[in-house]
Amino acid sequence: LVCVLALARHRAARTHASARVRAHAQARALAAVAMAVAGARPLRPSGRRPGSARLSRAGWRGGSGGFGSGSAAWRGLLACGLAFVLCRRCSLGPGTTFAGAGGGVGGPALKPLVGQPRCRPESTAMAAQLPASSAADAGAAEEAYQIWRDQFPLAAARRDYYGVPCGPADVQARFLGLAGQLGLPAAEALEMFRKDMWVLGEPEEKLPEKLEALRSLAASEEKVLDFLRAAPRAIATTSAKEMRQRGLDNMRLRASVGDIYETITMPLRLVVMQSTRSAAAEIEEQVASAGASTEAAVANSAKKREGTFEVLTVLLFGGLAGSLVWLTYMDATYGGPIHAKGVCIPASIIPSYNIPDDEGNARLPCTCAPVYKWYIEPQLTVEQKEDMLNSRPQVGSKNCGKLIGGEKKACDPRTVGACVWTTEDLAKDPETWDRREPTFWERERLKLESSGGT
What pLDDT, in 10s, does the model give residues 377-395? 898 888 888 888 888 898 8
Residue 362: per-residue pLDDT: 94
Residue 290: per-residue pLDDT: 66
Q: Are 179 and 189 in contact (CB under 8 A)?
A: yes
Between CA 416 and CA 328 the distance in angstroms is: 20
Residue 366: per-residue pLDDT: 94
CA atoms within 13 A on the CB side of 168: 7
99 CB contacts (<8 Å, ≥6 apart)?
Answer: 108, 109, 110, 111, 198, 237
C-alpha torsion sign, points 14, 19, 24, 27: positive
Q: What are the backbone dihedrals phi and psi of residue 114, each rounded to the nearest 5 degrees, phi first?
A: -65, -35
| Sites in the chain below the pLDDT cut of 70 | 1-133, 290-292, 294, 453-454
Residue 380: per-residue pLDDT: 85
Alpha helices in 152-217 (DSSP H): 153-158, 168-182, 186-193, 207-217
100, 140, 252 from 387: Cα distances, Å = 19, 32, 7
